[in-house]
Structure 1
Amino acid sequence: MTRRFRTLLAAVAVVATALGPATPVQADNPRRLTVATYNVYQGADLTVLFTAPTLPELVERAGLAYQQVVATDFPARARAIARLLAKTRPDVLGLQEVALWKKGPLDGPLQVSYDFLDILLRELRAVGLRYRTAATVTMFTGTLPISATEQASFSDRNALLVRDGLQVSSPQSHLYDAKVVVDTPAGITFNIPSGWIAVDVGVDRRDRVRLVTTHLDPSAAAVRDAQGRELYAALAGSPYPVVVAGDVNSPPTNTTGPYGKFVTGGYRDAWRAVHGARDGFTATQDPDLRNLPSLLDQRVDHVFHRPGRLVAVSAQLVGEAVRDRTPTGLWPSDHAGLVVTLRRVGW
């Protein structure tokens, strides 16, 4: 080997080291797509606000709810969630209850106190997972006094995160026509919409999947069922295979609700395809997240997919085991997450 050639090789090695590894252009295995859904919990039970009999009681309950947000410590929970996802490395992550909390003086500006999306993205990067936000939808937003001197605001969001390297196109963000309206005894009316988001993910135009996440209403069955019908109809014209990963608040026994609508309408339940009709419970822990034993006894978080060009090959829960809790004993969320790997066939 000539001296000039050795010198050239050494220069190339220095440049390669400085640049670092090349960014991948597709998923680790282009014939497999790993999809997760995780309701990360907004941090407090806000339904207690709806029954407050007077305005002073409403303010007191709002203050207690904000204290619960602080106590349920999303930064620590996000760290636990990131560690769990580092083991499964989903390509696409559908998130629900991605809260944005702000606080400030009663007559002054509000400052962000907890941005769940930013916090989780930071913790994912810390464990070596690099995601970008492909789509979000903001649903309910409200501001209330939480004491005689302070106020707080809450925004409820869904988000779709996609691992670096996957091509993303056609982001969509929608609110359902069907929504809940709550008139409280204290004289305050809460309008509570829900929504869904979607992106097309793939390597090229011939190899794309439409990924969807949603959070259907947890409290009003008629509204939830209407939302499920809206979503099903909206996805009917997709030119690509469809995957719906979300908290639909509808167990397999709900044959006339959203679960029944999707599985009788041509979608497969990925958990059932892999494991049959057993276990898979994803909800719900106590609002303070400190209960023992676990209270998960419902399967309401699902990954549905249209069969044919997609086959579910694995499905696992994350965040359901006692060992998954934070060092201070908090569950990562009041839900478990669901991670499904789909094999793409016929392409």
Structure 2
Amino acid sequence: MRRLPVPIHHHWRNTTEVPVQRGFVAINARVAGKNYRIVNTHLEVREPQPGNPISQVFQAAQAFELIGVLRATTPIGKSLLVLGDFNSSPEDAGVPGPLPLPEPFDQGLVPPYQQLAAAGYTDGWTLRWHVRPGFTCCQAEDLLNENSQLYERIDLILSWPAPARVEDIRVVGTKHWDKTRPPAPRLWPSDHGAVAAELRF
């Protein structure tokens, strides 16, 4: 797993160094005569604090580096699938600059979802008509909440280039019958719903 460093802590004053251990894994695959690179990642949680909007900088920097690394290392002719918990939804707002950060973040912080969309990645969920909003996060930390309380869509299946079509895409693990069975406490399988899709390139 490659670590996505955020080499900007030394630009802040009166703070301590905090290591950020996130990364991605990737595999090259050949399916039905077509070449793919499949990447899975998990970006840092965005936790804006009152009076400190640049707390979003960690995940913005991780997305920026991830996009650059994949652009530089993905061979021509491979379809690229980027999956994971991005901790960023289509509704996330950026932080306008100027900010006391190194380039390019001094001009403002762009959330990961918006960065990936601007880099040409297609969000598979948007290619299908859905009655449900596709929320994937989050159940209670102890997984004991009775009813599902997912409220935001931050687990994504992105592709470059866009697939020719999306046969199916759905959130799974969010129904009562997905929970563990008695006599043990009935638990959700995860605090997130999982996104499953069938894409055609």
TM beyond 0.5? yes
Q: Is 1:254 equivalent to 2:95 in the alignment?
A: no
Query: 1:216 matched to which residue of 2?
Result: 43
Q: Is 1:338 equivalent to 2:195 in the alignment?
A: yes
Query: 2:28 matched to which residue of 1?
Result: 200
Q: CA deviation at 1:277?
A: 9.0
Query: 1:285 matched to which residue of 2?
Result: 139
Alpha carbons of structure 1 residues 329 and 266: separation in structure 2 relative to 1, 3 Å: same
CA contact (8 A) 1:179 1:194 kept: no
Q: CA deviation at 1:273?
A: 1.0
Structure with more of its chain in helix, by fraction: 1
Structure with more of its chain in strand, by fraction: 1
Alpha carbons of structure 1 residues 192 and 337: separation in structure 2 relative to 1, 3 Å: same
Count of aligned positions: 165
1:298 corresponds, among 152, 161, 182, to 152
CA contact (8 A) 1:179 1:192 kept: no
Q: Secondary structure at the match of 2:128?
A: helix
Q: Is 1:178 equivalent to 2:6 in the alignment?
A: yes
- Unpaired segments ≥5 residues, structure 2: 10-15, 47-54, 94-109
Q: Secondary structure at the match of 1:235?
A: helix
Normalised to the residue count of structure 2, the TM-score between the two structures is: 0.74
Root-mean-square deviation (CA, aligned residues, Å) is 2.4
Q: CA deviation at 1:221?
A: 1.5
Among all aligned residue pairs of Structure 1 and Structure 2, give the percentage whose two residues are the same amino acid. Answer: 31
2-structure distance, mates of 1:312, 1:329:
33
Normalised to the residue count of structure 1, the TM-score between the two structures is: 0.44
2-structure distance, mates of 1:174, 1:277:
38
Q: Secondary structure at the match of 2:19?
A: strand
CA deviation map 1:266-309 (0-9, x unaligned):
11100111136951000001111001221100100000001355
- Partner letter of residue 199 of structure 1? I
Higher alpha-carbon Rg: 1
CA contact (8 A) 1:178 1:193 kept: no
Q: Secondary structure at the match of 1:252?
A: coil
- Unpaired segments ≥5 residues, structure 1: 1-172, 182-187
CA contact (8 A) 2:121 2:160 kept: yes
